[in-house]
């Protein structure tokens, strides 16, 4: 059979269109399988019911082969889609979330952390560019020049999108109830729907993002997350818009009196610290020092502390631990609200410092001032301190600072990619996933540094009787579902589950009598009020939404976590504490 030239061009155009659309759809389905297959009940039924929503963006993007002379651009488009999908997969592996507009604008903060991505690289990352390579090999290298029917085809595709979007998926403005959060849909053709909040003043972005990617396409999620930001922008909230009656219970009665601490405060913030390593793992005590502190006299221990960070991770952890506030629902406080006034236990001290092992991350210089610390001690640009370096500087600060003082020291070895050099012994657990084994070895190194600081306090005549030592984490690390880790932990009898792990809180203070073990599930926002009690600053103007874990009468919380997150979001976005009359 012979084809005329015009017929040949038309056939090749349709071949490229079909192949390109099929490639995009395959990548979309593969991404959803990697992310949701292990956690979605009736996964294949879910795939079938959501297939039209995933086909639409693929057809729309592929339709542009009819309006160009050089459909070779489809290879470039495939590579761009790969970058977007891989970036989301990396971010999901590290944080359990999908990329947001705010996170994309803060990519410069990855300076110094690019090596961390190596630990998340695997076949699941490589498969997407491999699909693009296969597409390139199958791609018919032709240059059709017949475009007179091109716009007609595009209009047909748009009509298909409108029909599916309006008739089959859902009607415009239909509310969707998901647990306790009400979403509202807006038609954003040709990329299906964008959910924004309705009948509510705020919404959890991560919950929205997960719902969107599940129901629609990771490809259309790119414009959707940008449109979401435009449809529901985070704007400054006026002070008068906040219901004062909801805030007043969390403000002290002695607002205008300056709180004076009764003890020194040393807070060691351990990067990515989870609770399960405090147990013996295959006969090895990776955190023997922290375990010993947790069961000693004059100490408090809580192993079921829920991390409450959002997109800021370590920066959010600092915010919660230092101020008792929770992060904003969309974005990162240290970038969007670094000029705010924040409450802080450091404000009670005349002498205070943050010892930061990595220069320039999370705008630490700006946030040190915002948190009322007098000094930031960190390495020069492009340098990084080991946990041993941080421990030595904490000890040096303790020995030279006038008392009472406050110092926040941050460890870094247990940050992905879990590397601290070869000067500390390492344990190899046979059969344990390499990432988990490396993490435990890094915590073993950090724990040895904690032990040095703890022993220095006890052996010092000027510190032992008037120093409170707090050790906790900034966030958990194994938050995305990893069946390999879960299966190993189950078989080895390790109390570990991805997405269900906890942080520990261990406090040594001479004012504590005996040993206090808290078995209940607590929250990261409880750290701040507990510290304020131990340093004798309960009359400080801000109490926080958490509870003092030593207060047996505070077993019932005034508000739940979601209410606390809503109020905290408003307090930060309105810069409430800068205008608070009683500050």
For residue range 106-148, list pLDDT tens digits in order. 655 555 555 666 667 777 888 998 898 888 877 655 444 444 4
Question: In 3-state terms, what secondary structure has residue 185?
Answer: strand
Mean pLDDT across 79-102: 84
> In the structure, what pLDDT confidence band is assigned to residue 197 with cuts at 50, 70 and 90?
very low
Residue 243 has a pLDDT of: 76
Inform me whether the pLDDT recorded for 565 exceeds 60.
yes
Torsion of CA 295, 388, 351, 514, to 10 degrees: 10
Q: Helices (DSSP H) in 37-119: which residue ranges?
A: 43-62, 73-95, 101-104
Adjacency order of strands within the sheet including 193-197: 175-178, 181-187, 193-197
Question: String of b and e for 53-79 (b: at least 16 CB within 10 Å)?
Answer: bbbbbbbbbbbbbbeeeebeebeebbe
Low-confidence winner among 46-50, 177-181, 249-253, 539-543 (lowest mean pLDDT):
177-181
CB under 8 Å, gap of 24 or more: what pairs does 76-81 form?
Answer: 77/20, 78/20, 78/23, 78/24, 78/131, 78/132, 78/135, 78/136, 79/129, 79/132, 81/24, 81/27, 81/219
Is 438 a residue whose pLDDT tops 50?
A: yes
Is the pTM higher than 0.85? The answer reads: no
Q: CB neighbours of 176 closer than 8 A, spacing ≥ 6? A: 170, 182, 183, 184, 185, 195, 211
Q: Which pLDDT band, with edges at 50, 70 and 90, does 288 fall under?
A: very high
- Residue 37's Cβ-count burial label (10 Å; 0-12, 13-18, 19+) is middle
**Which of 141-145, 182-186, 222-226 has the highest mean predicted lDDT (pLDDT)?**
222-226
pLDDT at 466: 92
> Residue 332: which pLDDT band, with cuts at 50, 70 and 90?
confident
* Pairing verdict, β 193-197 and 181-187: antiparallel
pLDDT average, residue stretch 27-36: 89
Q: Is the pLDDT of residue 528 over 90?
A: yes
Query: Which region among 337-346, 475-484, 567-576 has the lowest average model confidence (pLDDT)?
Result: 475-484
CA–CA separation, 387 and 384 (whole Å)? 10
d(CA 9, CA 145): 7
Tokens 């009472």 correspond to 404
Q: Is 216 helix (H, G, I), strand (E, B) or coil?
A: coil
pLDDT exceeds cutoff 70 at 457? yes
Q: Span 287-307, mean pLDDT?
A: 93
Tokens of 395: 């000890």
Helix (H) or strand (E) holding 516: strand 515-518
CA 171 to chain centroid, in Å, comes to 33
Judged on CB neighbours under 10 Å (0-12, 13-18, 19+), 537 is: buried
Residue 422, preceding peptide bond in cis (omega within 30° of 0): no
135 vs 367: CA distance, rounded Å: 48
Mean pLDDT score of the chain: 80
Q: What is the pLDDT of residue 134?
A: 85
Q: What is the pLDDT of residue 420?
A: 74
**Dist CA 450 CA 390 (whole Å):** 10
**Look-up: residue for tokens 């990515």?**
272
Report how far residue 294's alpha carbon sits from residue 300's, in angstroms, rounded to the nearest whole number: 6
Residue 221, judged by CB atoms within 10 A of its CB (0-12, 13-18, 19+), counts as: buried
Euclidean distance between CA atoms 444 and 418, whole angstroms:
11
Q: Strands, DSSP E only, in 138-232?
A: 175-178, 181-187, 193-197
Residue 188 has a pLDDT of: 40
d(CA 378, CA 554) in angstroms, rounded, equals: 38
Lowest-confidence segment of 226-240, 279-293, 363-377, 506-520 by average pLDDT = 226-240
Nearest to 40 by CA among 181, 214, 208, 213: 214
Contact yes or no for 574/237 (Cβ under 8 A): yes
Question: Region 481-494: what's the mean pLDDT?
Answer: 80
pLDDT at 553: 66
pLDDT (tens digit per residue) in 386-427: 999 999 999 999 999 999 999 999 998 888 878 776 678 888
Tens of pLDDT, residue by residue over 314-326, are 889 999 999 999 9
pLDDT at 354: 96
């Amino acid at each position: 059979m012979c084809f005329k030239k015009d017929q040949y061009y038309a056939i090749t155009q349709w071949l490229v269109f079909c192949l390109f659309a099929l490639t995009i759809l395959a990548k979309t389905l593969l991404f959803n399988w990697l992310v949701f297959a292990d956690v979605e009940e009736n996964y294949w039924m879910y795939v079938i019911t959501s297939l039209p929503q995933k086909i639409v963006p693929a057809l729309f993007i592929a339709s542009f082969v009819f309006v160009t002379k050089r459909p070779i651009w489809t290879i470039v488009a495939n590579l761009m889609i790969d970058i977007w999908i891989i970036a989301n997969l990396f971010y999901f592996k590290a944080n359990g979330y999908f990329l947001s507009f705010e996170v994309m604008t803060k990519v410069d903060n990855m300076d110094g952390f690019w090596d961390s991505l190596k630990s998340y690289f695997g076949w699941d990352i490589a498969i997407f560019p491999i699909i693009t390579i296969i597409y390139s090999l199958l791609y018919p290298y032709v240059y059709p020049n017949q475009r007179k029917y091109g716009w007609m085809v595009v209009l047909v595709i748009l009509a298909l999108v409108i029909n599916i979007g309006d008739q089959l998926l859902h009607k415009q403005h239909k509310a969707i109830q998901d647990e306790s959060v009400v979403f509202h849909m807006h038609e954003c053709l040709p990329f299906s729907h964008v959910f924004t909040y309705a009948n509510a003043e705020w919404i959890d972005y991560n919950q929205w993002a997960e719902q969107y990617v599940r129901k629609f396409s990771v490809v259309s999620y790119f414009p959707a997350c940008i449109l979401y930001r435009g449809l529901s922008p985070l704007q400054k909230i006026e002070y008068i818009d906040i219901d004062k009656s909801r805030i007043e219970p969390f403000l002290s009665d002695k607002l205008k009196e300056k709180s004076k601490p009764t003890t020194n405060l040393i807070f060691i913030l351990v990067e990515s610290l989870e609770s399960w390593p405090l147990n013996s793992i295959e006969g090895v005590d990776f955190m023997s020092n922290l375990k010993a502190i947790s069961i000693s006299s004059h100490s408090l221990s809580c192993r079921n502390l829920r991390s409450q960070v959002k997109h800021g991770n370590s920066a959010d952890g600092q915010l919660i631990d230092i101020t008792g506030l929770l992060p904003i629902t969309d974005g990162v406080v240290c970038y969007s609200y670094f000029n705010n006034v924040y409450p802080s236990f450091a404000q009670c001290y005349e002498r205070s410092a943050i010892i930061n092992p990595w220069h320039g991350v999370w705008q630490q210089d700006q946030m040190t001032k915002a948190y009322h610390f007098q000094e930031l001690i960190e390495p020069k640009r492009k340098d990084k301190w080991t946990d041993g370096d941080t421990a030595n500087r904490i000890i040096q600060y303790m020995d030279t600072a006038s008392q009472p003082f406050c110092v926040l020291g941050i460890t870094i070895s247990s940050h992905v990619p879990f590397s601290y050099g070869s000067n500390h012994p390492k344990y190899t657990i046979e059969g344990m996933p390499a990432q988990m084994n490396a993490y435990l070895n890094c915590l073993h190194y950090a724990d040895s540094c904690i032990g040095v600081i703890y022993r220095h306090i006890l052996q010092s005549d000027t510190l032992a009787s008037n120093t409170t030592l707090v050790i906790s984490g900034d966030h958990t690390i194994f938050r995305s579902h990893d069946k390999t880790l879960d299966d190993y932990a189950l078989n080895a009898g390790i109390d570990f589950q991805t997405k269900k792990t906890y942080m520990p809180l261990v406090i040594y203070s001479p004012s504590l009598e005996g040993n206090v073990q808290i078995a209940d599930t607590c929250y990261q926002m409880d750290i701040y009020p507990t510290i304020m009690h131990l340093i004798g600053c309960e009359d400080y103007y801000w109490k926080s939404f958490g509870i003092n874990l030593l207060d047996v009468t505070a077993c019932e919380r005034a508000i739940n976590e979601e209410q606390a997150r809503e109020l905290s979001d408003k307090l930060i976005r309105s810069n409430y504490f800068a205008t608070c009359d009683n500050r």
